Structure 1
Amino acid sequence: MAAVYGAAAVNHVAKLVRSNIITSTITITLMTAPDVYHAAIAQNISWSQFTKNLAVNISGVTTSVGGWFAGAAAGAAIGSVVPVIGTAVGGVIGGLAGSLLGGTAGTIGAKAILDNLVEDDAARMIRLLQSAIEELAHDYLLSKQEIEELVTEVTRQVSETWLRDMYRAGSATNSDDDRKRFAYNYFDTTCQRIVAKRPKVTLPDLSDVLTHINTITEDVSVPVDSAPNDGPTAEKDIQPACALD
């Protein structure tokens, strides 16, 4: 822990920077590898989502490294004046704290900025899923209770993996309509099970229908001879309002 000055200090800092750059590059590569697979091979995320995730990861790692240096310097300075802790321990504690805080702040900040520029695949799939559920509710004429049952099933089934499957359903044509159709068809069987629980409506026999029709017809029919004759129904009883010269 001896003090280093001049060229030796410059070389020491240069080695730290190089080692941190190498470490950061390896870290970013490891964090990005799954996204490369999902975008290039599985095709269940978009390249725009890959780019967004990469930018967030780079920001998080970069700010984490910066936070380590700043925290280590601050921790060492504080540790030098605090008994027992000392410069070395204070530097390590400060570095860890700075790395954690810096990385978290960088990740959250980068994602907040990019969310305004690029829509997440998951958010896009949720929007398409909601539209598909609305169409299913309309097509099956679901009641409020039936809609609640459908929503419960949707909540149980939908996960990150399911949303990736939904995205992959339209990867070949890059069509959101195909992705929406995937969601519609997936929960179509759920709607069929729900409506199957409705009370059964049995049609009456044809003979009963004809009997009731005849009864109604007889009740509303009026004989011609029963029509009143004391009203102005005859032509001779109708008087003109005025006479023409």
Structure 2
Amino acid sequence: MIRRRSRLDRLEDDVLDESRPLAPILRQVIALGGHANSAPLRAWALRELQGYEGTEGPIPDYRKITVPLVMDGFDGRFQFTEQPVSMFDLPDFAREELGNELRLGQGAGQIESLLAGPPDETVRMSPPMAAELAQFMNQNSSRRVLRLYWTVHRSALEGVLDQIRTRLVQLVGELRAAMPQGQQEPTQSQVAQALQNISIVTGDNSPVTVTAPIAVAQGGGHAHAGVATPNRQGSRWTRVLKALWPSRR
């Protein structure tokens, strides 16, 4: 008698196939969490699928990457491109939020779509209100900043996706270890044990807490993407808005 392939069997095959995109795999995890009655597993997979932008939970450490914040513009007759932005270039009210740390809040599918360009391409990711900040930086200055953005190499994005896939592989491995031979579907307690063993902490507004260093290389071309502002940072960016438009206080 041929044993019917379980959800975990299919998940294992897909997550080990690195040619498979992560979005459909994460949907499988949501379904698996539903059958196992595991709200934490569903919550984590849904956040990785839909992204952390607009949520109250902080972005996991492995989604924080160190990349250069740069600017394009003119200084007199001199045109500059990808000139590094120092802390002193930024207005004081934006220094807390802007710098060389980029928090990738996009869903896994969105991050994968940024890798669709040529292999040597870098991705330009604009911070929130980049145009307004550039306008503010141009006040009382001979320099004219036209664009403000992070330059992100493909390797950094691939590193974030690799961290997500590694967590998924660990999830499968921990479930296999917890399930006795012949068991088809994991129980709620087995899923909870697996999540604890792979340092996935998900509960009420609590996302994964995993730290992983990601190297960033230099590249030739560019793609473009924006970075939205998570709700948890709203109060800080309210101060930015007030500084940009004092009359709206």
Fold shared, TM-score > 0.5 on shorter chain: no
Question: What band does the TM-score fall into relative to the shorter chain?
Answer: under 0.3
TM-score normalised to the size of structure 2?
A: 0.27
- Tell me the TM-score normalised to structure 1 length: 0.28
Could you say which structure has the higher helix fraction? 1
1 or 2 for the larger relative contact order (CA 8 Å, sep ≥6)? 2
Whichever of the two has the greater Rg, that structure is 1
